[in-house]
């Protein structure tokens, strides 16, 4: 089955720790995205990548880092510099960056800072 | 000023009725529009995309787009209790130099009552 997987489903982090969220897709999509969702707010774009070894900052990139070493994988690291990391993190992918390309989401990772 | 606006609801409709969900957006150059359904605690699921003025039908769902009025809507016919969810409107406003950036509304909660 083609799809997007994210792990872990739930993640607890102590203050001052860096954590890495996994995102893998087997849809052969070129573009991948990371969003953050907070209660009462729309999804906000953190980072996106169009091709391997290339990625761009979204609207709220501060305190986050990404890598794109493989087409299928786009991990997100939440660093200790992120002031309010507790949120629902969503990875998405699309065929490319054309505006008509539909984005599909993985199941998400819920991060809680203790 | 919010770029994509939705009434947060809840919108309550009886089973079998038509549910009408509305969305307005601020950027006149927006080119593509999407509706996602999100069940509580789950990730968004794409249900409709629309690119041209007019109506687009898919089963019980109809998306309507009016670019002159900067308005997009989703109609759900014969509403079922399983349609109870939050519906997210997403507008592709592009990225500098081209690209696929979705701006999301905060969602409308729909409740279909027996």
3-state secondary structure B33-73: EEEEEECCCCCCEEEEEECCCEEEEECCEEEEEECCCCEEE
Task: For residue B64, give both structure tokens.
Answer: 């309507």
Chain B contact residues (CB < 8 Å to A): 4, 8, 31-32, 34, 36, 42-46, 49, 51, 88, 90, 92, 94-95, 98-107
Per-residue pLDDT tens, chain B, 114 aa: give them: 559 999 999 999 999 999 999 999 998 888 899 999 999 999 999 999 999 999 999 999 999 999 999 999 999 999 999 999 999 999 987 666 556 788 999 999 999 999
Instruction: With a cut of 50, list the residues of chain A below it in pLDDT.
Output: none
Instruction: Give the minimum alpha-carbon distance from A52 to chain B in angstroms, rounded to a whole number.
Output: 16
pLDDT at A39: 87
Query: In this structure, how many other beta carbons lie within 10 angstroms of the beta carbon of residue A84?
Result: 9
CB contact under 8 A, A42 and B44: no
* C-alpha span between A96 and A81 (Å, rounded): 31
pLDDT at B108: 97
């Amino acid at each position: 089955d083609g799809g997007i997987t994210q792990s872990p489903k739930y993640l607890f982090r102590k203050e001052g720790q860096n954590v890495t969220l996994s995102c893998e897709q087997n849809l052969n999509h070129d573009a991948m995205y990371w969003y953050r969702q907070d209660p009462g707010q729309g999804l906000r774009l953190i980072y996106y990548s169009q091709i391997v070894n290339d990625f761009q900052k979204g609207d709220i990139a501060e305190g986050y880092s990404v890598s794109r070493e493989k087409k299928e994988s786009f991990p997100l690291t939440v660093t200790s510099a992120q002031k309010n990391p507790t949120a629902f993190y969503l990875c998405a992918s699309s065929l490319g960056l054309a505006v008509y390309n539909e984005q599909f989401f993985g199941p998400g990772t819920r991060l809680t800072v203790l | 000023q919010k770029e994509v606006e939705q009434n947060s609801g809840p919108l309550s409709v009886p089973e079998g009725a038509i549910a009408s969900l509305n969305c307005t957006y601020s950027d006149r150059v927006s080119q593509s529009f999407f509706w996602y359904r999100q069940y509580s605690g789950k990730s968004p699921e794409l249900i409709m995309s629309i690119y041209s003025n007019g109506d687009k039908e898919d089963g019980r769902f109809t998306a309507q787009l009016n670019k002159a009025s900067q308005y997009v809507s989703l109609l759900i016919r014969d509403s079922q209790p399983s349609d109870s969810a939050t519906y997210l409107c997403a507008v592709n406003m592009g990225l500098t130099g081209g690209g696929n950036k979705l701006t999301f509304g905060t969602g409308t909660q729909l409740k279909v009552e027996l």
